[in-house]
Amino acid sequence: MRLATYNVNSVRARLPRVLEWLEEAQPDVVAMQETKVEDDKFPRAELEAAGYHVVFHGQKTYNGVAFLSKAPPQDVVFGYSAGWADDCRVVRALFDGVLVVNTYVPNGTVVGTDKWEYKLAWLDQFATFCSEVASPSDKAVWLGDMNIAPTPADVYDSARMLGGVGHHPDEFARLARIKEWGWTDVFRLQGDDPGYYTFWDFRIPMSFERNLGWRIDHVYVTEPLLASAGGCWVDKEARGKEKPSDHAPVVFNLKV
C-alpha cells in the first residue's frame, strides 16, 4: 500500500496539480490537508473520476482535511476528542486494517499569542487523543502537516529559526511526548541528514530553488508496522511545477 500526506493549500486552486500528481504517483491512500473549501464545494466529482473514493471535512478559506483512496475507507471519523472544538483538522479511518490518522496541526502564528497557546494546547490534547483511539500495539499510521520542524536538520537555518513558531522547544517537548506513546518517524528511519524539506515558503524569494525549506510534513507508524514500512520520500518534483502548493507530498510504502 502506498500512502502519502499532501498539504495542497486549497484543493480547488491546486486541482490540476493534484490530478496530475495522482496520475503520476498512483498512491493508494492520500491524507490531504488545508483543503480550504466548504464540503458542498469540494471537487468530489473530479477526484472520483480520477479513480479515488473521497471523504472530506472542511470550511471556507481555512483548514480542512480529506482522504483520497483507491479502496473505500472504513470507520471514518471526523473531528477531535469529545469537548474539543471542531476546527476541521482531524480525520481518521481504516484502510486494509490499518488505522490512519490525518492531522493538520495549528500553525501557531506568533509565539506568545492566543494562537500559539492554542497550538500547544492542541498538541497536549493530541497526546491524550492517541490513547483514546488506539493502542501502541495496533497497526496505526499518523501523518499530516505537523507544523513542527523538530530537529536542526529539519529546517534550513536552525540557529536563526530556533525559538520561533515551528522550531520552538515547547513544540519539541510536546511532539516528543506524543511520540513516546508509540510513534516512530518513518522518514528518519533512513538517517538524520539535513536538507530534506517538505515546505518552502512562498514569501521567501526563490525559496524552493535555493532549498530554504522546512520538514514539517511527517509520517509516523506504530511498532507493529515498523518492519513493513518501506521507503519514504519527499516528492519534490510536484513542488517544482507551475502553480504548486507550497508543500510537497511525502510518500511511503507499507506492506500489509
For 169-221, how does the pLDDT look when each residue is reduced to its tens digit (9 = 90+)? Answer: 999 999 999 999 999 999 999 999 999 999 999 999 999 999 999 999 999 99
Q: What is the DSSP string of 156-205?
A: TTHHHHTTBTTB-HHHHHHHHHHHHTT-EESGGGG---S---SB--TTST
pLDDT in tens, 210-251: 999 999 999 999 999 999 998 999 999 999 999 999 999 999
Lookup: cell for 73? 475507507
Residue 82 has pLDDT above 80, yes or no: no
Residue 145 has pLDDT above 90, yes or no: yes
The C-alpha cell 480542512 sits at 64
Confidence of residue 83 (pLDDT cuts 50, 70, 90): confident
pLDDT in tens, 1-39: 999 999 999 999 999 999 999 999 999 999 999 999 999
Distance (Å, whole) CA 105 – CA 34 = 10
List all residues 6 or more positions away from 6 whose beta carbon is below 8 Å from its beta carbon.
18, 21, 30, 31, 32, 33, 217, 245, 247, 249, 250
Average of pLDDT values for 95-100?
Answer: 97
